[in-house]
Amino acid sequence: MTTQITFYLSQVLGRRFSSSDGTITGKVKDFLVDLSALDPSPGKPVRPKVIAVRVKVGMYERVLDFSSLEITQENRTPRIMGTEIEEISTSYLTNVIWLKESILYRHVVDINGKKLEKVWDIRLVYIPSGTFAIAVDVGFSGWLRKQGLLTTMERIAGWFGIHIPVQQVLWDDIESVDIDTSRLLLSKATSKLSTLHPSDLADIIEDLDKATRTYVFAALDEEHAADVLEELEPDAQIQIIESLPLEKAADLLEKMDADEAADILDVLEDHKAELLLKEMENESSEEVRELLEYDDNEVGSIMNTEVYTLFADLTVEEAISMIRKGQPEAVHINTLFITDEKNRFISSIPLAELVIADPSKILSEIMENKPVTVLDTDKIDTLAEIVSKYNLLSVPVINTGNQLEGMVLIEDIVDDLLDKQKTK
């Protein structure tokens, strides 16, 4: 019969260890595991093998070879036993880590759960071929076990018919990130971060310490990084921008919507903001500078300058063909704006109406008869009532010369309202 004993690191740390002859006694301090794959074939599970144990003997710590040891269990409590105990040196070993020192109490990005979790314990298994780490415990049960309260709480929960859930991440799903310097582990491969929605990833990054936050952000490709930067809270945005090289930070700001970039630069020190603006491409820089000239309570300060315009004499079919060829971002064409050759605003057409209209019709036949607009110098507080009253997804922003300056999206209005709620 194959012997298999499953136990947790917390159950052996601090426990008394002694050799069978009683010549070596001490307390278990940590387990050293080899991260080399037992079977490097694709798809095969990763099972770090325990190769040594650190024990404190008197005033000193010793590292003992684990190959001559075995795990027994008495009353659900694991016990390490051995006969021929040998001390080993770890200086020549590569691709190894100490479990408590390097993994315990660090964080795991749970890709599936889209959140940051803390490693409270490590699950191991002893079989005749060795002892292996198989999972990290990131749930409440792990925290209780660490505190020595799990058995008591399970008994109390049982009285009320409640089950304490076990939440673990298999070691196969963990990729360590610069484990010597980072306080982070990633569930699944690093590339999987790009599959998360920018808002979810922003929430995760905000919960990290500054050093790890910078490390993870730097691993993202520029397009995704720009989207995530837009979703971060202002303090995290500033920390990220200030941690990046000037050229890299400028490149990210260029990829963002001008209003989002302006929001970030507006809270930076003037000297730093000016350096970034000079490093940005002229067209992007000028757009942002124009937005920065508006007061914080003016519509122009939150408008998006990337709008899609069409001429009134186009047919519906021609307009749709132009949109397909231009491939604008979806958010910029929820509402299409009609202008003349001098960029003077004429009207607007919701995208949905354009799609269902007769292809042969002229845009002037289907555009709004009485379009709603706001001036770039109007107060932001007026926007919420306007989008609610007219059921709008976006509002065209014009200047006193009736020229189209941009649009305000409903999400920008909501963000502004939420920011004001936070400051109350």
pLDDT of residue 348: 92
d(CA 42, CA 36): 14
Contacts of 400 by beta carbon, 8 Å cutoff, 6+ apart: 375, 377
Structure tokens at 74: 């008495």
pLDDT of residue 1: 42
Q: Work out the angle at residue 253's Cα, subtended by the Cα atoms of residues 252 and 255, and round it to the nearest 5 degrees.
A: 65
pLDDT of residue 379: 92
d(CA 174, CA 190): 10
d(CA 304, CA 393): 13
The tens digit of pLDDT for each residue in 135-192 reads 888 888 888 888 888 888 878 878 878 888 777 878 877 665 444 445 556 555 455 6
d(CA 16, CA 27): 4
d(CA 76, CA 89): 32
d(CA 43, CA 49): 18
pLDDT of residue 362: 95
pLDDT of residue 105: 83
Give the residue among 123, 155, 161, 162 at the shortest CA–CA distance from 139. 123
Strand partners of residue 78: 73
Contacts of 201 by beta carbon, 8 Å cutoff, 6+ apart: 193, 224, 228, 231
Q: Which H or E run contains 346? A: strand 345-350
Beta strands in 139-190 (DSSP E): 168-170, 174-176, 184-187
Q: Work out the angle at residue 71's Cα, subtended by the Cα atoms of residues 67 and 75, and round it to the nearest 5 degrees.
A: 175
Beta carbons of 334 and 308 less than 8 angstroms apart? no
- What the chain holds in terms of domains, given with CATH numbers, is 5-173 (no CATH), 189-293 (1.25.60.10), 309-422 (3.10.580.10)
pLDDT of residue 16: 80
> Which residue stretches of the chain have pLDDT < 50?
1, 177-181, 189
Give the residue among 17, 127, 13, 125 at the shortest CA–CA distance from 64. 17
What is the pTM for the complete model shown?
A: 0.61
pLDDT of residue 64: 87
Strand partners of residue 170: 135
